[in-house]
Amino acid sequence: MAVYADFCSRHVGVHGETRDEMIKELGYERIVDLIEDAVPAEIRDGAELDLPEALSETDALELLKMIMGQNEVFKSFIGQGYYGTHTPAVIQRNVLENPGWYTAYSPYQAEIAQGRMEALVNFQTMITDLTGLDIANASLLDEGTAAAEAVALARSNKPKGTTVFVSDKCLPQTIDVVKNRCEPLNIEVLVGDWKSFDPSTCEGLFATLVQYPNVEGAIEDYAEFHEKVHAAKATTIVAADILSLTVLRAPGQFGTDICIGSSQRFGVPMGFGGPHAGFIACIDKLKRKLPGRIIGISIDPEGRKGYRIALQTREQHIRRDKATSNICTAQVLLAVMASMYAVYHGPDGLRNIAFNVHEMAQVAAGSICSKGYEIVSDSFFDTITVKTPGQAEEFHAKAAEVGINLRSIDADHVGISCDETTSIDDMMALLSIFDVEEPVVPNEDEVAWDEVHERTTEFCTASVFNSYHSETEMLRYLARLEKRDLALNESMISLGSCTMKLNATSEMIPVTWPEVGQMHPFVPEEQCQGYLDMLDSLSDWLAEITGFAAVSLQPNAGSAGEYAGLLAIRRYHADRGDKQRVDCLIPTSAHGTNPASAVMAGMKVVPVKCDDQGNIDVADLKAKAEKHADTLACLMVTYPSTHGVYESTIKEICELIHANGGQVYMDGANMNAQVGLTSPGKIGADVCHLNLHKTFCIPHGGGGPGVGPIGVAEQLVPYLPGHIGMENNEGAVSSAPYGSASINVISWMYIAMMGGDGLTEATKIAILNANYVAKRLSEHFPILYTGNKGLVAHECIIDVRGLTEQSDVTVEDIAKRLMDYGYHGPTMSWPVAGTLMIEPTESESKKELDRFCDAMISIRQEIQEIIDGKADKENNILKHAPHTAQVVTRDEWDRPYSRQKAAYPMEILRDHKFWPYIGRIDNVYGDRNLVCSCAGMEEYGEA
Ligand SMILES: *Cc1c(COP(=O)(O)O)cnc(C)c1O
């Protein structure tokens, strides 16, 4: 059948006669008529996207292989936060390459996310153990941003603090990200030698940050220093190397309050800078303000233990302008991988790896010193810095000749970091450039650090880290957890605003190519031509799609994009002598990351009202813009609106802001309703972030990774984030110059295979599918907002408030009941409390849309039974949902509805049934009895 000849027809779920049928159902003859009515004429773009012709899956893979083939993968001794690592094959195949893991959504619906939350609790346990601190979260974006988050956390502990001290021996990219994050908040960053820094004389000191081992490789004793910092009532932060912690004293043992780092070298490929999971752990006292998601343990109505996101009320989307962090999407998939690396190797295996790496570093140090060179510190773990006065260039050149990279420091030093992948051949190649012929091998059991640095505490003692060391056991553990989670390989995940579309296999395949995975982010430019080419074309394509002058791929989540975009605006105003322009207008319906990002960018949030239709109240906007005209920095606006409607006033809104001296920031989370039909540039915005993990097919990974590039208009181009070591070296928002570089291949593949027409077709079908669902459900639930001709954009909101009033059934009850029908609930209570926001995306077929609508309609009938008094208001099928196999098959059954109705409410489920692993989780209980690691799990719930 010709219909399926191209990739577009595989990506899009609706074609041919079915497509015509759906269009007719909506009262239209042709799709263009539907689009003309749905998308306001003022913003519609007549021009077609100027993108390369669509390629087949095979051809696109072949072309990308050729492009990435230009990369020269040298052996890396660069270190500086990124290390070679062996991803255990069982983890690569069954997690990284497995849609059961990578297509899952963030774990907001706990009962169908137990598998990945168990893995995340393992991650937290591993981090808590290794750092020797009380509590850890389930990942941050990278090491640099984790350090910046730690500084913000420390500041919230001493709000009057003005100054943070940062050791000049921290990783340079970390120092840079911290500086950039502190600048808009007027926090002074003192960078210097920690040994000569006196905390007692530093006015306003609220935190110190040191690196362990430091950037030169030296292991230093911070115990006394930390005592002095504490005496000055400041918080101590340590950036630590995760592998070294298996053999070195835990930071918690020398007075560390917060420890951060990267878990990359636990089995996650370097990927030219990312993605990988940053970590943060802290002392108990700071836990309520710890940024990011923390997974905790709680119980279900049967008293069975289960996991859920703990302390959710601290999350940024609720704290809005009081937020100290804007992190939303984190790095769940990579945290899962790192935790599984520890599960597979166990504590002894990890220690073994660490000692092997250390031995290699000792060989390097001993051999190089035997040739008369000096190293800067005799106390090291995996990294040494060699003094090569005036000869560094020469050594880099010699290294390149034998296919290896050293860390570039200055004219007089080179850095060498060993890692798990350093082989004897690699070592011989390294030593050859120092003219070593006979390597000097250290004495057995000898280490290059003093006894005080020796690790004396145990880690990863929980049974999970000591049970799955054979591949068979590991494989089954992974499979067991995977089956507890509902991901896109099970059914549609209709999460409004999150665009859970197809993550095609061909898009994913390049991610694990060695030329993609094994590239260090700081290699010389001539070695990464493939990457630069690929990233360049992707940036160009995204610029074309957004209608902007340039795009930066550096931000590694939507939230990071928002922050980078606002910084660009801030710097633009400042350069024009308008430093006072700091007011940021944000509609009350905005996503929580918007105000949080604004606060982080040093802006003042000015809320703007929305009208009954969910549109921005233009009169209120006008009044606020004019009132704040002298101090107006920008407006942050989501388009189509967070209510899923194309506001026809959007152009007028942009003009109004410009007339008052402000810039327009567009939140591009809803870009799936724009691609090919209109664009932020065309509409009149100045900057926009995209979520490549929404519109451009990067999978959600169960809560990350993401990529949040920003596109900007001409005047903002100079203010795009740069990176130390790049020509534009200002304003970095991530540790790596291209952020989570490796997963950009996914979006590259998507655009290459869709072409301009395909992308536009996807947008049209996304609109068709959303309107089809809205139409079918509108007979059973009120649709909250519609635009022109009663149409919605790419998502629709159903209003449950009236039903809740009559029946006590809440949106949460509906989401839980949907699990019994094999579905993940839509977005709950956002942007309007008591509603559900459904976004089906273009990838779903009519059959799947109908099945979902049937489930919703069936639930509506169950609600009607309560309203009609046929079912009890408390003891009913919705309040007891979800139903586990255990509950349904119990010998006793005293519920007022049948078991059959509980578990098989629709005929179609007989063919295929997804069983929620656990009953409804008690959030309140979990927060009151906070346990966030495996230790303590055994006794949990019995108290
Ligand atoms: C998803 C989303 C964001 C945040 O993006 P992350 O990648 O999770 O940081 C911001 N705004 C809107 C409207 C979103 O839907």
Examine the domain organization and report whether 119 and 236 are in the same domain. Answer: yes
C-alpha 695 to ligand 1 mean position (Å): 11
Do 336 and 123 meet the contact criterion of CB atoms below 8 Å apart? Answer: yes
The backbone torsions φ and ψ at residue 808, rounded to the nearest 5 degrees and listed phi first, read 70, 5
pLDDT in tens, 344-396: 999 999 999 999 999 999 999 999 999 999 999 999 999 999 999 999 999 99
Examine the domain organization and report whether 693 and 621 are in the same domain. Answer: yes
Examine the domain organization and report whether 572 and 471 are in the same domain. Answer: no
Examine the domain organization and report whether 689 and 760 are in the same domain. Answer: no
**Residue 816 pLDDT > 50, yes or no?**
yes
**Residue 939 pLDDT > 70, yes or no?**
no
pLDDT average, residue stretch 329-343? 98
Ligand 1 atom closest to the Cα of residue 593 is: 10
Angle among Cα 875, 894, 485 to the nearest 5 degrees reads 70
C-alpha 593 to ligand 1 mean position (Å): 7
Q: What pLDDT was estimated at residue 2?
A: 44
**Structural domain tally of the chain?**
3
Whether residue 309 lies inside any domain: the answer is no
Please list the residues that pair with 309 across neighbouring strands. 295
Please list the residues that pair with 835 across neighbouring strands. 799
Lowest mean pLDDT among 244-253, 331-340, 585-594: 585-594
Examine the domain organization and report whether 693 and 797 are in the same domain. Answer: no
Examine the domain organization and report whether 712 and 765 are in the same domain. Answer: no
pLDDT average, residue stretch 534-561? 98
pLDDT in tens, 195-218: 999 999 999 999 999 999 999 999
Whether residue 51 lies inside any domain: the answer is no
Ligand 1 atom closest to the Cα of residue 667 is: 11
Q: What pLDDT was estimated at residue 46?
A: 82
pLDDT in tens, 51-77: 999 999 999 999 999 999 999 999 999
Q: What pLDDT was estimated at residue 1?
A: 41
Residues with CB under 6 A from ligand 1: 328-329, 497-498, 557-559, 591, 593, 638, 642, 667, 669, 691, 706, 708
Whether residue 731 lies inside any domain: the answer is yes
Listed residues 715, 739, 763: the one ending a domain: 739
Whether residue 595 lies inside any domain: the answer is yes
Whether residue 492 lies inside any domain: the answer is no
Rounded Cα–Cα distance for residues 709 and 209 (Å): 29
Give nearest CA residue, ligand 1 atom 2.
669
Lowest mean pLDDT among 92-96, 724-728, 850-854: 724-728
Give nearest CA residue, ligand 1 atom 4.
558
**Residue 316 pLDDT > 90, yes or no?**
no
Q: How many Å from the N-terminal Cα to the C-terminal Cα in the chain?
A: 63
Whether residue 67 lies inside any domain: the answer is no
Examine the domain organization and report whether 450 and 559 are in the same domain. Answer: no
Give nearest CA residue, ligand 1 atom 7.
558
C-alpha 591 to ligand 1 mean position (Å): 7
Which residues are CB-neighbours of 348 under 8 A, at least 6 positions away? Answer: none
Regarding beta strands 796-799 and 835-838, do their DSSP bridges make them parallel or antiparallel, or are they unpaired? antiparallel
* Full DSSP string of 775-825: HHHHTTS-B----GGG--SS-EEEE-HHHHHHH---HHHHHHHHHHTT-B-
Q: What pLDDT was estimated at residue 324?
A: 86
Q: How confident is the model at residue 614 (pLDDT cuts 50, 70, 90)?
A: confident
Residue 52 CB: number of other CB atoms within 10 A? Answer: 12
**Residue 943 pLDDT > 80, yes or no?**
no
Phi-psi region of 346 (alpha: psi -120 to 50; beta: other; left: phi over 0): left
Q: How confident is the model at residue 4 (pLDDT cuts 50, 70, 90)?
A: confident
pLDDT average, residue stretch 566-570? 98
Selected residue with higher pLDDT from 649 and 314: 649
To the nearest whole number, what is the mean pLDDT of the chain? 96
Q: In 3-state terms, what secondary structure has residue 238? A: strand
pLDDT average, residue stretch 154-172? 97
pLDDT in tens, 276-309: 999 999 999 999 999 999 999 999 999 999 999 9
pLDDT in tens, 877-907: 999 999 999 999 999 999 999 999 999 999 9
pLDDT in tens, 441-471: 999 889 999 999 999 999 999 999 999 999 9
Pocket probe for ligand 1: among 142, 145, 593, 734, the residue whose CB has the most ligand atoms within 8 Å is 593
The pair of three-digit structure tokens given for residue 425, joined into one six-digit string: 């051949």
Examine the domain organization and report whether 696 and 724 are in the same domain. Answer: yes
Whether residue 170 lies inside any domain: the answer is yes
Do 221 and 452 meet the contact criterion of CB atoms below 8 Å apart? Answer: yes
**Residue 941 pLDDT > 70, yes or no?**
no
Examine the domain organization and report whether 673 and 802 are in the same domain. Answer: no
**Residue 13 pLDDT > 70, yes or no?**
yes
Examine the domain organization and report whether 426 and 573 are in the same domain. Answer: no
Rounded Cα–Cα distance for residues 926 and 941 (Å): 9
**Residue 311 pLDDT > 90, yes or no?**
no
Q: What pLDDT was estimated at residue 190?
A: 98
Listed residues 429, 453, 484: the one ending a domain: 484
Q: What is the CATH number of the domain that holds 635?
A: 3.40.640.10
Examine the domain organization and report whether 371 and 472 are in the same domain. Answer: yes
C-alpha 559 to ligand 1 mean position (Å): 6
Rounded Cα–Cα distance for residues 818 and 841 (Å): 19
315-333 burial by CB neighbour count: b if 16+ within 10 A, else e? bbbebbbebbbbbbbbbbb
**Residue 554 pLDDT > 80, yes or no?**
yes
Examine the domain organization and report whether 902 and 813 are in the same domain. Answer: yes
Q: How confident is the model at residue 645 (pLDDT cuts 50, 70, 90)?
A: confident
Residue 765, domain extent = 755-926
